[in-house]
Amino acid sequence: MKRRSLREIFNSRAVKKAHRTTLALAGAAIVASCTTLQSDSHLAFADQRPAVLAPCPPDTAPPKPKLAYAEELFRQNDSAPPSEAVLRMSPEERMQYYMKKFCFEAHTAANDNDPRDQAVVAALNTLSNVTFMGKPLVDLADQEHLRLCALRHMPAGTAAQYLASDTFVAAGQNAKKQGQVLDLAHEITHAAQDKQGLLRYGYVWDIESRVRRNLSTEAAPVALEFAVAYEKKLSGDDSYWEYLKKHDANTAYTSADNHKLFEDTYNAGVAQGASQNDALRAGARAIFERVFDSDDWRNFYLTSELNSYIEDIANGKFRLFTEIHRGVFDQDEVDKAGKIGSLPSFTEGARLPAYAALFRGSQKMQWAYEAADIERHRQALGADHATVRAMEKRAADNKNPYTGIDFAEVNRRLGDVRWSSRFQSTWQVMDEVIKDRANPKPAPAPAAPCLPAPKPPSA
């Protein structure tokens, strides 16, 4: 998933609505009571007429079924609600309908004349002319018949996205052609990782393994963007390299140290006799290790993984498994994160920072992870398990304010903000839940009496 810059966010793992209850039965009871009183009053006071009741509102429609994320993404981009015919389709048929409507396969790009697709087609063509770091991506996309979908509306903070569940790239609209090319390179790298089995996790994985997987698979495409941009510079077009420098303030992309690191690594490799291809890959590996030093980048993807973890908690996924496996995403998996096609992986042997170091400078992020992990252990092991008790004591000693929070409510609110124009960290949403719990809103006034709709005549 390619994140947007903060500028794009503030300019710009499906909305979940709470079930609403119907007042039909209560309304009917009130009307029956009122009718009796009105009848008695009419007998006693002939000069008074019974009050005229307004019709009861129609029964609330049943709650809409939760949509798969991919379908919700397409619906957000459709100009009209789905027709009855589309709604009658199975979920699989609807996905095929939307993909046919919004997407094209990479190997058909040369014959694609749809105006909506042209920015993505142009980006694909540009990437195919980047010999060492771009063309292997396009070759992979062609061979795999990868679907590319030009979409205008993306979730808050997301510029483009590869969806492993349905194997397509959701390509957002980037105002800069350089950004469109680099976004596409980023997402096709995810498709390559998917072929290596890196984009899926098990519910028995511990949180550290999930974080290592997420951050590794996101750092590698960032590093590859550097390599593509620098190869373009070597060919005489430095606009891509300059684009990265101006991506936004305070990110892994714009750090002057990162740009110097890549250039120094590349030049040192060439000076020692390395080929241009090998020197570019050495630069990419150096950037892969450095990406984790960016607070902005790290917090964005820590938020992404935590939101996924909380969704699994809210849906009770961990109640189904009593085992917790640690150290699942090890160095062998990290080594695969930068492998494109048959080429050697540029992440082989690359280091990752220690788990605890990822939270430096963000106490609330650490608390949020700690509270979520306690709840996960409660679901898997039981509230009275010694491990859970020890985790709770440690959290209490750390004065963690999020322990015991209502994760179902947190998850609901995370769904509500997904499509907003303002990116929020998970802990910001958790703060709002705690604040609202401390200051509950008054209950709504009881519904006024009403007249129920007449029942249709029986057949």
Mean pLDDT of 399-405: 97
Q: Is residue 450 part of a domain?
A: no
| Phi, psi of 202, deg, nearest 5 | -105, 150
At 235-278, the pLDDT tens digits run 999 999 999 988 765 578 888 899 999 999 999 999 999 999 99
In a domain, 48, yes or no: no
| Better-scored residue on pLDDT, 67 or 54 | 67
Which pLDDT band, with edges at 50, 70 and 90, does 59 fall under? Answer: low
pLDDT digits (tens, 9 = 90+) for 343-352: 899 999 999 9
325 pairs with which residues across the strands?
205
Is 144:407 a contact under the CB 8 Å cutoff? no
The answer to whether residue 176 scores a pLDDT higher than 80 is: yes
Which range (57-71, 159-173, 415-429) has the least confidence?
57-71
List the domain range (segments joined by +) for residue 229.
2-12+79-438
CA-CA distance, 214 to 5, in Å (whole number)? Answer: 19
Residue type at 307? Answer: N
What is the C-alpha to C-alpha distance for residues 257 and 291, in angstroms, rounded to an integer?
11
| pLDDT computed for residue 325 by the predictor | 97
Is residue 200 included in any domain, yes or no? Answer: yes
pTM above 0.85, yes or no: no
Which run of H or of E encompasses 104?
strand 103-105
Select from 118, 129, 171, 126 the least CA-distant residue to 146: 171
How many domains does the chain fold into? 1
CA gap 153, 21 in Å, rounded: 32
If you ran DSSP here, which 8-state letter would residue 46 be given? T
- Segment holding 221, helix H or strand E: helix 207-234
Which residue, 332, 361, 363, 327, is CA-closest to 349? 332
454 is a domain residue: no
Q: Report d(CA 58, CA 111) in Å as an integer.
A: 51
Average pLDDT, rounded, for the chain: 85
Least confident of 1-10, 86-95, 120-129, 324-333: 1-10
Is residue 39 in a domain?
Answer: no
Give the number of other Cβ atoms within 10 Å of residue 87's Cβ: 9
Whether 260 is in a domain gets the answer: yes
* Phi (first) and psi of residue 200, to 5 degrees: -125, 150
In a domain, 21, yes or no: no
Residues 296-320: pLDDT tens digits?
889 889 999 999 999 999 999 999 9
Can you give the C-alpha Rg of the chain in angstroms? 27
3-state secondary structure of 158: strand
Structure tokens at 69: 């994320």
Tell me the DSSP string of 355-413: TGGGGTT-HHHHHHHHHHHHHHHHHHH-TT-HHHHHHHHHHHHTT-TTTT--HHHHHHH
